[in-house]
């Protein structure tokens, strides 16, 4: 099976998201193959037919990662997709609470070296 062209990928993304994310628009200007790579990465993970996690939960995990990594454009696009998938205000609030807790726990884990070094 032949991989889709960058033009086909762009059309599919615009249909699904309403527009091409600006980061991919910029990447496309440098090398249109970035669109294919991005689509294949998504197909291999979030959109994989063998993914045992339902699509809404998969997208919630992706949004959690985007919030943690600080990717504003991804946060916006993933939130829009989740709204179409029926995420509730309460689900979004708990997603953020869980991310906030995980981030705080990571800070404490990272601080262990400082605590241990100070005590030695």
Task: Render each residue's pLDDT in the chain as its tens digit; 120 residues.
Answer: 677 888 888 888 888 878 888 888 898 899 988 888 888 887 777 778 888 999 999 999 999 999 999 999 999 999 999 999 999 999 999 999 999 999 999 989 999 999 999 999
CB–CB of 82/60 below 8 Å? yes
Instruction: Give the per-residue pLDDT at 24.
Output: 87
Q: Are residues 70 and 113 in the same domain?
A: yes
* Any domain includes 82: yes
Query: What is the total count of domains within the chain?
Result: 2
Instruction: Give the per-residue pLDDT at 1.
Output: 65
Q: Are residues 29 and 63 in the same domain?
A: no
Q: Are residues 34 and 63 in the same domain?
A: no
Burial readout 17-54 (b: 16 or more C-beta within 10 A, e: otherwise): beebeeebeebbeeeeebbbebbeeeeeebeeeeeeee
Q: Are residues 31 and 61 in the same domain?
A: no
Q: Are residues 58 and 105 in the same domain?
A: yes
Q: Are residues 36 and 81 in the same domain?
A: no
pTM value is 0.76
Distance CA 102, CA 78 (A): 20
Domain span including residue 28: 1-44
* Any domain includes 49: no
């Amino acid at each position: 099976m032949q991989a889709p062209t960058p033009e086909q990928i762009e059309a599919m993304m615009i249909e699904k998201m309403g527009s091409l994310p600006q980061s991919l628009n910029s990447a496309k200007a440098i090398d249109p193959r970035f669109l294919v790579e991005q689509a294949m990465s998504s197909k291999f993970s979030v959109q994989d037919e063998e993914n045992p996690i339902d699509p809404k939960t998969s997208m919630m995990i992706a949004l959690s990662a985007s919030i943690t990594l600080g990717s504003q454009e991804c946060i916006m696009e993933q939130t829009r997709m989740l709204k179409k998938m029926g995420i509730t205000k309460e689900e979004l609030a708990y997603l953020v609470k869980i991310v906030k807790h995980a981030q705080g726990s990571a800070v404490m884990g990272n601080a262990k070296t400082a605590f241990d070094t100070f005590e030695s």
